Amino acid sequence: MEEEVEFAYNEPLRIAFLHPDLGIGGAEQLIINFAIALKKEGHTVRIYTPHHDHSHCFKETVDGSLDVHVHGSLFPATIFGKFTAFCAMVRMTLCALWVILYSGHWDVIVVD
């Protein structure tokens, strides 16, 4: 027999999202929809990313609907036009380290 498990919480959660490039795409739309839904439920939500181009992004990330912070952008996105995946990994690692060391306590961290 399966038991039903209910998850109940009494106070809002602090939730951080880490996403490699907050542009326009399906993964970004999913992160934004998820963050907005959690925020509407009363949770504290913040998105951290190494890249956020204000001219090529969803409006919720620039109009104040969501709290977006950019960290890890000091490392280049490519090296001589190559090593894109490696650079993205290093940039996300730098962003994650910043979140762990300097952003305070989070109840949940969602890493994309």
**All domains of the chain in start order, with CATH:** 14-111 (3.40.50.2000)
pLDDT in tens, 2-54: 777 676 667 899 999 999 999 889 999 999 999 999 999 999 999 999 999 99
What distance separates the 2 farthest-apart alpha carbons in the chain?
A: 59
Task: Kindly report the pTM of this predicted structure.
Answer: 0.87
- Give the whole-angstrom CA distance, residue 79 versus residue 77: 7
How many C-beta atoms lie closer than 10 Å to residue 82's C-beta? 9
